[in-house]
Chains A and B, each alone.
Chain A
Amino acid sequence: MSSPPAGQDAAGPTSPADRRPVLRQAISVAVASGTYGISFGALSVASGLDLVQTMALSLLMFTGGSQFAFVGVLAAGGAGGTAAATAGLLGLRNGFYGLQMAPLLATRGWRRPVAAQLTIDESTAVGVAQSRLDLTRFGFWATGLSVFVLWNSATLAGAVIGDALGDPRRYGLDAAAAAAFLALVWPRLRPRLSKLVAAGAAVLATVLIPRAPAGVPVLAAVLVALAAHPLDRP
């Protein structure tokens, strides 16, 4: 990911023609995350959260991986504190996205806390993929806002549908959750060390499932990441 050099917006004002492809990108990313939001809503109510709690997660937490992990830990019988710690650790990367976006967006006043809430995988990826600073800003905001709207509407739909469905296992929703995590980790596995870390974390978690309180096997994965760190040479 490369950041557009500052000052390139001196190339002139952003025209609608420049914005159109960025907007198209933003909306297609948002539609994809919407379909994913439906499965989140359904899984969340299946995990024992009610409609208000499910919607609070999508509106306030608004970071998909952490939300899936949070309800997953609770569904396995984990404590609330363990679920919250898991969600926070998985959300650490958003802090680094913020670090990357802050100088590009140069937000002031009320826009900064809003930009922070919209700082997720999708908005950062579309933003930094643009070649001009003005389009980076437009891409970030367009993606963040459209994902926010679609993610929350989809969560609501999924929660209502999931409530009506009953036993989630009958519809394979437990397998869908495993597949969702696999799909989330898949694009991050390209470096060889990442494959090793993933394999080590999966084995450790499997060993710990019958031996440790629910949620601990996920937190223990952090140890694998730390242990692999000295092996990391760029």
Chain B
Amino acid sequence: MSIGIAVLLASGLCYAIKMAGYLLPHEWLEHPEISRLAARITVAMLAALVAIQLLGQGRTLTVDERVPAVAVAAVLLWRRAPFVVVVISAAVVAALLRML
């Protein structure tokens, strides 16, 4: 599948999900169980993405400058820093360590 087709397919899928919330009968989805499961899926996938961006290099595991950079990001999040400060600080830490 080309990247262009994947972009359109994925965008269509995400839009269909949004629209389903407006069109589907409420009884189908309104169970608190199901909405808690959806929230849980979001948490699990985002956590997996953190691990992959942190340690993955294609299909190998690599510990590099990203680890201290994300540690700094975690401290900033704990200190309630805004999103952009967290992301830029991580980039700056990794970039500086790579310059050394």
Contacts and interface: CB of A to CB of B under 8 A. Distances in A.
Given A90-B42, A96-B21, A178 B90 contact: yes
A149 interface: no
Interface stretch (A4-12, A76-84, A132-140): A76-84
B61 interface: yes
B65 A175 contact: yes
Interface string B14-45: 11011111101010011011011111111111
A172 B91 contact: yes
Contact of B87 (A96, A176, A200): A176
A95 B91 CA distance: 33
Nearest to B74: A182
Contacts of A97: 18, 21
A155 interface: no
Q: Is the interface of B mostly helix, strand, loop or mixed?
A: helix
B51 A175 contact: no
B83 to A, nearest CB: 5
A204 B5 CA distance: 30
Interface in A160-189: 169-186, 188-189
Interface residues of B, number: 74
Contact of B58 (A53, A88, A98, A214): A214
A221 B44 contact: yes
A57 interface: yes
A92 B90 contact: no
B3 A80 contact: yes
Please report whether the interface of chain A is mostly helix, strand, loop or mixed according to DSSP: helix
A95 B90 contact: no
Nearest to A42: B91
Contact of A176 (B11, B14, B15, B91): B91
Given A72-B49, A94-B21, A175-B90, A88 B13 contact: yes
B62 to A, nearest CB: 10
Interface of A: 32, 35-36, 39, 48-49, 53, 56-57, 60-63, 65-66, 68-70, 72, 74, 76-77, 79-81, 83-84, 86-102, 107, 112-113, 115-117, 119, 169-186, 188-189, 193-194, 197-206, 209-210, 213-214, 217-218, 220-222, 224-226, 228-229, 232, 234
Interface of B: 1-15, 17-22, 24, 26, 29-30, 32-33, 35-56, 58-61, 65-66, 69-70, 73-74, 77, 82-84, 86-95, 98
